[in-house]
Amino acid sequence: MSGHLVFETALGFIAIAWSDAGLTRLALPTQSRDAADGNVRRWPAPGPAIAEADAPHFVTEATALARRYAQGETVDFSALPFDLAGIEPFRRAVYAAALKLAQGEVTTYGELAARAGFPTMARETGQALGRNPLPLVIPCHRILAAGGKVGGFSAPGGASTKLRLLAHEGVQLGPQDPAQSSFAF
């Protein structure tokens, strides 16, 4: 049964969608339920709205983990099932490598590309992360540009959102170039 729901966390409202095989989409926290619903409307075939109590077990597990994350607990989303049907093998490899990063652990696009088996494809790795359908769960915010620079972030708020998520995990980066704060993939 596919479907979607919007749920509240200490960081805001998160939208999540799934298929029978696993999670398909997640939108980072927004300030309102309406904004989260707007994210769902932009997704291809999100399935019907389902009450959290009626969602499959893996979805209620995902919402519980997201709530614990928002409260500041260390969580690991990697055991959740994902439905990445239609996503090419390169992107899947990048996402699998990102999933191995622990909460609060950061790496660079180049290092992640190498971990994924594509050591010369740092730029393409950044592009793949910019198309991540499950941000937060697949922690694309933990990937930095060379030299500890924040790099891009395609979520609303761009690099400032990335910096807030990293700070939430206890990661403090040095002073950033103001131009990077407005850059997103």
- Would you state the pLDDT for residue 177? 58
User: 99 with 156, same domain?
Assistant: yes
Give this prediction's pTM: 0.90
The domain in which residue 31 lies consists of 3-70
Which residues does the annotation mark as catalytic? 140
User: 101 with 65, same domain?
Assistant: no
Q: For 116-125, what is each residue's pLDDT tens digit?
A: 999 999 999 9
Q: What is the DSSP string of 31-50?
A: SSHHHHHHHHHTSSS---B-
Q: What is the mean pLDDT of residues 114-139?
A: 96
Q: Among 13, 39, 70, where does a domain finish?
A: 70
User: 45 with 103, same domain?
Assistant: no
Contacts of 167 (CB under 8 A, 6+ apart): none
| Number of domains the chain is built from | 2
Is residue 136 domain-resident?
yes
In sign, the C-alpha dihedral spanning 14, 70, 100, 139 is positive
User: 95 with 168, same domain?
Assistant: yes
- Residue 101 belongs to a domain with what CATH number? 1.10.10.10
Is residue 182 predicted with pLDDT exceeding 90? no
In sign, the C-alpha dihedral spanning 144, 81, 50, 2 is positive
